[in-house]
Amino acid sequence: MRLKTLLAAGAMVAVAGATLPAAAQSVVEQIQSRGELNCGVSTGLAGFSNPDSEGNWTGLDVDVCKAVAAAILGDADAVSYTPTTAQVRFTVLQSGEVDLLSRNTTWTLTRDTSLGLNFTTVTFYDGQGFMVPRDLGVTSASELDGAAVCVQPGTTTELNLADYFRANGMSFEPVVIEQLDEVNAAYFAGRCDVYTTDASGLASIRSTVAENPADHIILPEIISKEPLGPVVRQGDDQFFNIVKWVVYALLEAEEFGVTSENVDEMRNSENPGVQRLLGVSPGMGEHLGLSEDWAYNAIAQVGNYGEIFERNVGVDTPLGLERGVNDLWTRGGLMYGMPVR
């Protein structure tokens, strides 16, 4: 009797099991199955994520996407880019339309804990600033009482703006516009006196959109901390770890002097750290569920962090940004790659 009961129970379990859906694929498995990484970027911000006339994307945020694709798929070009506005960027990631959001997005407590998302690490330390027409005669943000200010909704910029003016006993008239190109047009058409966003964004807009960049000045005050970095959905630790450690690998490569040009030669290095980084000493790839050449592929095809910075936003680009706080910790900056070991 007991045997019949057990057999019947086993049959019920078998039937129930047959009706259950197959286990959901991990993010990495999905990427490998489709053969490309789906990456959410901005609608166009020079130096960070911006398409050319043929739809080819470039920028610091884009290079993060490429490095992740190179690590997972061995091909930095295996990326599909989805332009997102500030208001929809998190929804696009939450819905699964993109695997990764790499889009000048600030890491805050609320965003990190209430959206079902995880910020991985910081790829650019920034801060909010103000840009004004030079002929306005303003030299400090303390002189902006009563100004009309162009700002995008759904951003930390909008909140910081209100906090700053309230804390300093000043008033302002917000000119709130969602689409970046429309905000740019409004400012340069004179609909507002002031443009506020991340200082790097102001430098990008001034250098690429202004008819004469010298006619606009970025005021000296930085009113907030804006740590920008890639974001993933919660619940998939492997993909979270991969994105995080790809960025750390790019930083550690710069520390070791490993570049896209010498990476093959550096595989002969006797430095144990370089050997681990480039997969000569095995183990690091296994821990991530990737091939041992994951970091080698990212560095060879995209470059180390310093190469990425200088190529996209550095002093020899239209943005002309110094490394500053985005320099390595060994040179007085904040960039510190956790050890690949």
Q: Kindly tell me if the per-residue pLDDT of 11 is higher than 50.
A: no
Give mean pLDDT, residues 43-60. Answer: 95
pLDDT tens-digit readout, 227-257 = 999 999 999 999 999 999 999 999 999 999 9
pLDDT at 147 over 70: yes
Specify the pLDDT at position 23. 58
To the nearest whole number, what is the mean pLDDT of the chain? 93
Cβ contacts of residue 196 below 8 Å, gap of 6+?
Answer: 128, 129, 130, 131, 149, 150, 151, 157, 161, 202
Average pLDDT over residues 9-35: 66
The per-residue pLDDT for 154 is: 85
Per-residue model confidence as pLDDT tens digits over 152-206 = 998 899 999 999 999 999 999 999 999 999 999 999 999 999 999 999 999 999 9
Indicate the domain borders of the chain: 27-125+228-331, 128-224
Whether CATH 3.40.190.10 fits 128-224: yes
pTM of the model: 0.88
Reported as a single tens digit per residue, the pLDDT across 289-336 is 999 999 999 999 999 999 999 999 999 999 999 999 999 999 999 999
CB-CB contact of 321 with 200 (8 Å): yes
**CATH architecture classification, 27-125+228-331:** 3-Layer(aba) Sandwich (3.40)
Distance CA 260, CA 255 (A): 14
3-state SS track over the chain: CHHHHHHHHHHHHHHHHHHCCCCCCCHHHHHHHHCCEEEEECCCECCCEEECCCCCEECHHHHHHHHHHHHHHCCCCCEEEEECCCCCHHHHHHCCCCCEECCCCECCHHHHHHCCEEECCCCEEECEEEEEEHHHCCCCHHHCCCEEEEECCCCHHHHHHHHHHHHCCCCEEEEECCCHHHHHHHHHCCCCCEEEEEHHHHHHHHHHCCCCHHHEEECCCCCCCEEECCEEECCCHHHHHHHHHHHHHHHHHHHHCCCCCCHHHHCCCCCHHHHHHCCCCCCHHHHHCCCCCHHHHHHHHHCCHHHHHHHHCCCCCCCCCCCHHHCEHHHCCCECCCCCC
> What is the reported pLDDT for 189?
96
Task: Say yes or no: do domains 27-125+228-331 and 128-224 share a fold.
Answer: yes
Give residue 233's pLDDT: 98
Cβ distance 49 to 112 under 8 Å?
A: no
Residue 20 has pLDDT above 80, yes or no: no
Here the tokens at position 28 are 């990495």
Q: How far apart are CA 222 and CA 196, in angstroms?
A: 11
Mean pLDDT of 107-118: 97
Mean pLDDT of 258-275: 98
